[in-house]
Structure 1
């Protein structure tokens, strides 16, 4: 396995802190003096927007738009059962983006305000619909939604709703904290296995198969994310674990108490396990400059 070989070799080097989950990516291009007035307004408004609280589902408007937002919320929480033909594992969007993307684990609040945007992994500008379907193909190990389907419209409507009042074209969302370690220590897989059984197995299963899409998602095996998912990178997985796990005290470990080394050990152990392949993986980062911890070979290699 490519990844296992890299894990044994070690990741004790700086890695790029770009996690390309649906939480969004800012533009790599600084605004020019000719930028649209809309973006100038967003730049001014964002300086005062240090925090953001999305509207609650109790305030969803009545009528067709409200019904679409509610369907989007359902799809976020019940993805694998709501659209089973598009999901190839036992995960839901909320498996990673907790509370349908509104809590601090991997927030989606304000995400529609930053799209369309350039995505280095794709090597092109993506719309929010493109990004949603990227997650269906990778994190959900499934198939994209039809662009004009009720389900796609509903997901965009929901993401727009939890982005209410965030200025279109905003360059930074200060309330978003990326789940990524700048430098990943060389993982100790044996210690990772020990920590996993001590503090993770009760929710995620001793065999990694999980106990439910939101209660304890599958972390490896056929029912988990595939190798092309953002969580397939050790910097992202370790960062997510360090910030968010466990959700409650488990095996004497409290949320936020893990060291970088412990988080790397856990991530290394989890990612050393078998998971579904992603047929298109070699085409990622077509312009080069791929992060150092991409766990598979690419057609375009970094110089």
Structure 2
């Protein structure tokens, strides 16, 4: 990193990214840090790395149906994945995160698509994703870090392994609530340090199991789970508004 005033802001962005709770806690409403879903401080391929994201904006997003700047994309992360509130445009937190992403993308072609961007798409397995199989995979491959109850682990007040559902996790508006997105992240990166070892079937099954649990409400909720699903979650890979084990997800 450059040893000047710009480098100072880049370092701030890195620290916000690694320990969001400590360095941008006023914008966070759960127990997560950015690095929990964007591994290796936002540098790891196939873990939605910042260097590939930065060069991809401005871009149209179907999620909010307009062209988004990179700053607006970051705002969405705080609102949905962090279950918090979006920093205003020009806020030092956004400026630092943008600067860090810009520095990581040094030399990358603007407007191109780099290998390793986002989470890889995992083709649908031979059998439909299944809750019971997913629970078995979770207990065998995931519970050691994320806990049998899915609430993760913390050390000295800092989240080490994030909660995967419940009040301290990402909300129903986050991309990870979608089984397709979650299976891609899981297949490429989990178990931690053993990415690529799960089969496609296991990745889809455990993604369905994870996303079959209740979590904070989608901040776009309009008073009706049915209407909110129709407007924002009309996808076969979203479980929002679906009944699982007798409970309608999102109805809490």
TM-score range (shorter-chain normalised) is 0.7 to 0.9
Higher strand share goes to which structure? 2
Cross-structure match for 1:75:
16
> Post-superposition shift, 1:289?
11
1:2-151 to 2 correspondence within 5 Å?
60-104=1-45, 105-151=47-93
Query: Following the alignment from structure 2 to structure 1, what is the Cα–Cα distance between the partners of residues 117 and 219?
Result: 31
Distance in 2, matches of 1:96 and 1:155, equals: 15
SS of 2:50's equivalent? coil
Partner of 1:255: 195
> How far is the alpha carbon of 1:152 from its aligned partner?
1.0
* Deviation digits for residues 120-146 of structure 1 (CA, Å, limit 9, x no counterpart): 111000001100000100000000012
From 264, 271, 285, the equivalent of 2:211 is 271
State which of 160, 165, 178 in structure 2 corresponds to 1:233. 178
Tell me, yes or no, if the aligned pair for 1:226 and 1:276 is still in contact at 8 Å: yes
2: CA distance, partners of 1:205 / 1:74: 26
CA contact 1:101–1:107 (8 Å) conserved in 2: yes
State the Cα RMSD in Å.
2.3
Query: Which fold has the larger relative contact order, with Cα–Cα distance below 8 Å and residues 6 or more apart in sequence?
Result: 1
Deviations for 1:89-134, whole angstroms, at most 9, x for unmatched residues? 1111100100121012332213222211111111000001100000
Q: For residues 118 and 35 of structure 2, what CA distance do their matches in structure 1 show?
A: 17
Task: Decide which structure has the larger Cα Rg and report it.
Answer: 1
1:71 to partner: Cα distance:
0.3
Runs of 4+ in 1 over 6 A off after TM superposition: 282-286
- 1:294 counterpart = 2:235: no
- How many Å separate the matches in 2 of 1:204 and 1:259? 20
User: What is the DSSP-based 3-state SS (H/G/I as helix, E as strand, rest coil) of the residue aligned with 2:137?
Assistant: helix
Q: TM-score, normalised by structure 2?
A: 0.84
Structure 1 unmatched ranges of 5 or more: 1-59, 249-253, 298-303
With the length of structure 1 as denominator, give the TM-score of the two structures: 0.70
